[in-house]
Structure 1
Amino acid sequence: MPNTALQRSNRQEAVGVVQPPSGGDDVLNARRWQRILSNYSTPSRLRSIAELAITALPLVMLWAAAWFTFSLGHAWASLLIAIPAAGFLVRLFMIQHDCGHGTFFAGRLANDWVGRVIGVLTLTPYDCWRRSHAIHHATTGNLDRRGIGDLDTLTVREYRALPWWGRLKYRLYRHPLIMFGVGPAYLFLLQQRLPVGLMRNGWQPWASTMATNLAIAVIVAVLTWFIGIKAFLLVHLPITLLAGTAGVWLFYVQHQFEHTMWDRDDSWDLRQAALHGSSHYELPALLRWFTANIGIHHVHHLSSRIPYYRLPRVLHDHPELRDVGRITLLQSFQCVRLVLWDEAQRRLVSFREI
């Protein structure tokens, strides 16, 4: 047993992950951090407007440049331009994300309407997404309350109890080509055209989704009228699909790392799950800018009222938070093989390991 514990400790140090201490002290620690982080929750109107401008305007310019190069017959150049354009679209989604948390502007009205407009561009109905994302935050790491706003994650016991076709279905769902290839296209182009998961929650999810669909249809119709259906699809689809894949990848890595945290309802604590069940995805500076600091996800989950442009300040002022759930870009690629929660070992494991 001592050797096993030592090997596990060495493995954790090697991947740069700090395990949470066990017991009630950790819960109190998370509560203490929540109080400290509340000091960073005030948004700046000028900063938010500037962030919106330096994200939306370059996206429009790059989209126009991609169409112009395509119209000249340089489809390869258009595809190259799609890469940075997708980066700005991801960043625009992160602004929508902050609006959903009520953190981008001080007033709810400004947050909601900016979020709704951006939702048309990101193909994500804002009010519907905001509700499901709030459920995700309220239930993160709770094994008994999975299913809305998160990725399907089975325990080892649940997987072993499935019939062969259930195991096959889960394996296909978790395959990288499905998760990061087919999955983003299905999510943003098809699934989000209906209020999936909230279809029985009254008229509001339907109103949000259908209003977004109508606005998308109008924009598509206008652009198709002016530039043609072929140009629109070959310019816009690569941007959308690249951004969608990046978004799904980010969401995956933020919670699907080896030493994340899941508990049954009777032993689950929201603050503890927020701090230790979300990663600190340490990205290079350029990627950190395009992803609007969303990699500082453990801090975000513990205090979702902090605007994304204040998250780096939290780590600057409190460097002890840097190593909590820390994953580098290179280490993150190893997370793809982790697909099942082992309740005995309290870590995510691969199919091969079981």
Structure 2
Amino acid sequence: MSIPHSRALRAKAGTDLILATKPFAKDDPWRSWWAILSTGFLLIGALAGTLWLVDLPARLVCSVLAGLLLTRSFVIYHDQQHHAILPRSRLAEGLMQVFGLLALSPSSVWRSSHNHHHNHNSKLRGSHIGSYPIMTTEQFKRSSRSRRFGYLFVRHPLTILCGYVFMFLYGMCVNPFLNRPARHWDCLLAIVVHFAISAALVVYGGWTTLLVTQILPHFILHAIGAYFFYAQHNFPGVSFKDKDGWTYEKAALESSSFLRTGPVVAWFTANIGYHHIHHLNARIPFYRLPEVLRAIPELQSPKTTSLHPADIVRCLRLKVWDVETQRMVGVSGL
């Protein structure tokens, strides 16, 4: 019994655990540029296939592939916005800002809301900015019917599936611009560019071209993005805290899941499933996250979920935080 006890004494926790990840928070510019350029090249090829191939099934295959490559590109964009990759490259910053506009995730909104999310992850108060809102069972019971409807609407599976419209087009573009137009002028630019591209595609190749080149790839990107973000912070075993007892590292390990996937899905999602590590240190490049998991034993037993249908259903059933049982529950019977 003495050996496990001595190991427990040496186990890293708190600030020491964060410090243990710092050696991995180093960008390899060549590797980062290869990820950007190779993914971009494949994406352009897939989109060209949606435009120029004659056979509709082949165009649909290219459209799905484009959606998956957009997903990988989005996580790379996400890493660059965290300054995890190419933090001093003006060229990378410019390219990523253009991508943010095209992906309906303008940099001004993404950085402010996502940084807030990282700094308030798992808090019962203040975590709704840049994240799914969270109510306790008591708050839900006391809420008006309209507020309950709005809360459940945001968390509804169909709303998550249609993240293209609700989370990104409206949530990341229309709403921020209407609320703070001077600060989020790039949101208006993203909307204008998006619909200008849509109009050009209709003129060029008709409604089918709009569907396979613009709508389906964006639908795939934003559905995957909306669900991954949901499941990484709304899963069986997740923990929420009020101000007392909240620490950054506890929020990373107890309120951010490790979403298990196979290597193909991990590639298309640029390792975003290693979310507990990403939240512990957002400056770690996505391509080093598996390396961190292998190197630090304290990170090897995370709270997990997966893309198995049963796990997806378990996550989607969770609606409110029960303070008494300290777990997420559904709303049936409340």
TM-score class normalised by the smaller sequence: 0.7 to 0.9
Give the root-mean-square deviation of aligned CA atoms.
2.4
Gaps of 5+ in 1: 1-24
SS in 2 for 1:281: strand
Post-superposition offset of 1:77 = 3.2
Aligned to 2:318: 338
Q: Is the 8 A contact 2:102 2:193 kept in 1?
A: no
Deviation at 1:292, TM superposition (A): 0.4
Equivalent pair of 1:148/1:197 in contact (CA under 8 Å):
no
Read off the aligned partner of 1:57 and give its amino acid letter. Answer: F
Partner of 2:332: 352
**Is residue 289 of structure 1 aligned with residue 273 of structure 2?**
no
Q: Does 1:105 align with 2:92?
A: no
Higher alpha-carbon deviation: 185-194 or 332-341: 185-194
Q: 1:260 aligns with which of 238, 258, 263?
A: 238
Identity of aligned residues (%): 29
| Contact persistence 2:24–2:292 (CA under 8 A) | yes
- Residue 183 of structure 2 aligns with an amino acid whose one-letter code is Q
Matched residue of 2:256: which SS? Answer: coil
Code of the residue aligned with 1:332 in structure 2: it is: D
For the pair 1:158 / 2:136, whether they are aligned, the reply is no
Shift of 1:197: 8.5
What's the TM-score, normalizing by structure 1? 0.83
Q: Do structure 1's residue 45 and structure 2's residue 29 form an aligned pair?
A: yes
What residue number does 1:18 align with?
A: none
Q: How does 1:86-235 map to 2 (within 5 A)?
A: 86-107=67-88, 109-181=90-162, 183-194=163-174, 196=176, 199-200=179-180, 203-206=182-185, 208-216=186-194, 219-220=197-198, 222-228=200-206, 230-235=208-213
- Contact 1:67–1:235 (Cα < 8 Å) also in 2: yes
Task: Give me the whole-angstrom Cα distance separating, in 2, the residues matched to 1:85 and 1:38.
Answer: 34
Task: State how far apart, in whole Å, the 1-side matches of 2:129 and 2:225 are.
Answer: 17
Partner of 1:6: none
Hey, what's the Cα distance between the residues in 2 that align with 1:149 and 1:38?
Answer: 25
Task: Please tell me whether the aligned partners of residues 99 and 114 of structure 1 are also in contact (alpha carbons under 8 angstroms).
Answer: no
Q: Helix, strand or coil for the counterpart of 1:348?
A: strand
Among 60, 74, 87, the alignment partner of 2:44 is 60
Deviations 1:113-171 (A, max 9, x none): 23202113312112221111111111111112132100122111111112334334433
Letter in 2 for 1:176: P
Asked if structure 2 preserves the Cα contact closer than 8 Å seen for 1:30 and 1:275, the reply is no
Q: TM-score, normalised by structure 2?
A: 0.88
Q: CA deviation at 1:217?
A: 5.1
Counterpart AA for 1:87: L
Instruction: Answer yes or no: is the 8 Å Cα contact 2:256–2:279 preserved in 1.
Output: yes
Query: Is the Cα–Cα contact under 8 Å of residues 86 and 239 in structure 1 kept in the other structure?
Result: yes
Give the length in aligned residue pairs: 322
